[in-house]
Chain A
């Protein structure tokens, strides 16, 4: 039986919504589970059959993790050191989410700002005066693509020698270097789109090159730079390996703070992990949705032409 064109279209439309909805479930379920678990009371974390929507929603997980409300009791298990009767060392070390949040914000914010400022100036040079050849621009990608694990041990020893281990500066330097390739490529894609007439006018009026950059070119691509900033913020905010190995106690970041809950001898604490996870994820989702139209640019290295 032959189908008419409009029937074909309709079949395709149904088929499309079906597939997309299946994928939507796959994408949304872990998110739903994370948020759901963060509101579950302790006894429902491991119950069988699993509780999908809890009827005993509680804010206790958030209170314990974020508000530092010390509700640990003996009933909660071994959170109390049996010898001293005090909170165990382990539990104490966990109660610093706000410190971690502060560190994460400062480190990611600072490294990203530096990368965008430096990267956009470099991108201006490349876009207008070819100060780096195309090959050099691609080689710049090595900074991000060679896995940091191969150099992290000597860097950590070197950092210890020069007093950068476990400092904000130490992490900012490395985050700056590893996010620079994306910063240069992405801001270049925006600068390339700006017509040169304005700069030429500024030049005729006698503005120096730096003044032209700061007062003409970069303001013209302001929204592009904001997109670049947020894009790189996503990468630096979620970085785990460098933060884990180069910060010991002082400058732990949110992903490291979260990972401390895992290796515990005190059993899994899913609800608390989820409550912390929600807090780590919300800012990124927010940021990502703001720049959703520009995400492709960050990765596309001039390969997508509009």
Chain B
């Protein structure tokens, strides 16, 4: 803050700095207080309520018409940690976690491979670049629930996809993309990939466009071929952007709900019952609010851990990047 010194020469340095710091502090809390109050107003009751329902077996059916505070207490019975023990023994929950992880990993990698591939083909200017770009971001701008229903129109047994496959292969294809247990989850995964490849695509396009040219030119003068430049110069420089594309997509895919629910409601059987779907079914179809609460708590802790890990990696990348960026003499920017 040396810039200000010339302005306030007659004010004692320490006093000026102190009053400035006070002003910033006041500003900080003026901004943050309403936000923190709003958070507390929503999240604290929610977490407390969740805790209550997971420790007391609550039955919505024995509650009656009255929905005041008392009736919740009357319809509940202390059971301690029993529900949590049940959660850890619940094989259906275990299967849901595995499904969610498979779904998130698969769709993240799919989005990344397609998105990065397209970005590599497209980041240098060529005729039609702008037009392709516009088309390629369209899926991201489509509402997920719309994708679910349009997906069904295309994928159902007498739909156009089977027709196209039939015409290409010369025999009648009658694949049940949605109603066959073995492939239903994969189908949803491909819808997710269709939906979110643009996300990886635009991030990788921006990342590739922002790469400094000098190292590549230097390497090429020294006789390195395209592959070596890609692997040893471009890819390492792209690491932060790649991490970003992977981590954000994985986290969002873990929470995916509209397509999975809108299309199959967890079916056929339980083939597409991911973690969000399982919680949804438990709470809103079985109305087992207490078990849903215990499940939610476990998932909450799990997801917070996963998100914090993701954030940790992102933050580390950002720090490295800042260090690199600020140590360079700032000529161009």
Please determine whether B49 and A154 come into contact, CB atoms closer than 8 angstroms. Answer: yes
Residues of A within 8 A of B248 (CB): 299
Other-chain residue from A27, A30, A142, A304 in contact with B203 (beta carbon distance below 8 A):
A304
How many chain B residues touch A (CB < 8 A): the figure is: 100
CB distance from A287 to the nearest CB of B (A): 7
**Binary flags per residue of A166-197, CB closer than 8 Å to B gives 1, else 0:** 00000001101100100000000000000000
- A122-145 residues with Cβ-Cβ distance < 8 A to B are 122, 125, 129, 131, 134-135, 138-139, 141-142, 145
Please determine whether B132 and A304 come into contact, CB atoms closer than 8 angstroms. Answer: no
| Known pairs A27-B138, A150-B279; A262 contacts B147 (CB<8 A) | no
Other-chain residue from B27, B160, B207, B289 in contact with A125 (beta carbon distance below 8 A):
B27
Residue of B whose beta carbon sits closest to that of A147: B255
| Known pairs A50-B159, A52-B160; A142 contacts B150 (CB<8 A) | no
Please determine whether B145 and A16 come into contact, CB atoms closer than 8 angstroms. Answer: no
**Binary flags per residue of B9-37, CB closer than 8 Å to A gives 1, else 0:** 00000000000000110011001101100
Residue of A whose beta carbon sits closest to that of B239: A303
Residues of B within 8 A of A301 (CB): 244, 314, 318
Compute how far the CA of A160 lies from the CA of B46 in the bound complex, rounded to whole angstroms: 12
CB distance from A301 to the nearest CB of B (A): 7
**Binary flags per residue of A5-34, CB closer than 8 Å to B gives 1, else 0:** 000000001001101100110111111011
Name which of B79-87, B118-126, B215-223, B227-235 contacts chain A. Answer: B118-126
Please determine whether B137 and A295 come into contact, CB atoms closer than 8 angstroms. Answer: yes
- A45-74 residues with Cβ-Cβ distance < 8 A to B are 45-50, 52
**Binary flags per residue of B301-318, CB closer than 8 Å to A gives 1, else 0:** 001100110110011011
Q: Does B142 contact A (CB under 8 A)?
A: yes
Residues of B within 8 A of A118 (CB): 31, 34-35
| Known pairs A142-B307, A304-B207; A259 contacts B134 (CB<8 A) | no
Compute how far the CA of A292 lies from the CA of B135 in the bound complex, rounded to whole angstroms: 11
Please determine whether A138 and B314 come into contact, CB atoms closer than 8 angstroms. Answer: yes
Please determine whether A234 and B141 come into contact, CB atoms closer than 8 angstroms. Answer: yes
Q: Does B272 contact A (CB under 8 A)?
A: no
| Known pairs A153-B292, A300-B206; A33 contacts B300 (CB<8 A) | no
Please determine whether B280 and A304 come into contact, CB atoms closer than 8 angstroms. Answer: no
Other-chain residue from B121, B252, B279, B292 in contact with A16 (beta carbon distance below 8 A):
B121
Compute how far the CA of A145 lies from the CA of B24 in the bound complex, rounded to whole angstroms: 30
Compute how far the CA of A139 lies from the CA of B144 in the bound complex, rounded to whole angstroms: 26
Q: Does A151 contact B (CB under 8 A)?
A: yes
CB distance from A127 to the nearest CB of B (A): 13
| Known pairs A13-B126, A146-B304, A209-B23; A303 contacts B145 (CB<8 A) | no
| Known pairs A299-B203, A303-B321; A33 contacts B160 (CB<8 A) | yes
**Binary flags per residue of A280-296, CB closer than 8 Å to B gives 1, else 0:** 11001101110010011
Residues of A within 8 A of B53 (CB): 153-154
Residues of B within 8 A of A47 (CB): 158
Other-chain residue from A24, A158, A270, A297 in contact with B135 (beta carbon distance below 8 A):
A24
CB distance from B132 to the nearest CB of A (A): 5
Q: Does B153 contact A (CB under 8 A)?
A: yes
Q: Does A219 contact B (CB under 8 A)?
A: no
Residues of B within 8 A of A241 (CB): 257-258, 276
- B141-192 residues with Cβ-Cβ distance < 8 A to A are 141-147, 149-154, 158-160, 163
Please determine whether B150 and A145 come into contact, CB atoms closer than 8 angstroms. Answer: no
Please determine whether A305 and B138 come into contact, CB atoms closer than 8 angstroms. Answer: no
| Known pairs A16-B121, A50-B158, A262-B262; A33 contacts B153 (CB<8 A) | yes
Residues of A within 8 A of B128 (CB): 17
Binding site for B on A (CB under 8 A): 13, 16-17, 19-20, 23-24, 26-31, 33-34, 37, 45-50, 52, 118, 121-122, 125, 129, 131, 134-135, 138-139, 141-142, 145-151, 153-155, 157-158, 160-161, 173-174, 176-177, 180, 200, 204, 209, 234, 237-238, 240-241, 245, 254-255, 258-259, 261-262, 268, 270, 273-274, 277, 280-281, 284-285, 287-289, 292, 295-297, 299-306
3 A-B pairs closest in CB distance = A147-B255, A154-B49, A296-B206
Q: Could you give 28 example pairs across A and B, Cβ below 8 Å?
A: A16-B122, A28-B135, A30-B150, A33-B160, A34-B150, A118-B31, A121-B31, A135-B315, A138-B315, A147-B254, A153-B283, A154-B46, A154-B49, A154-B50, A155-B42, A158-B46, A161-B67, A238-B145, A261-B149, A273-B149, A277-B143, A277-B149, A280-B146, A281-B141, A288-B141, A296-B202, A305-B333, A306-B210
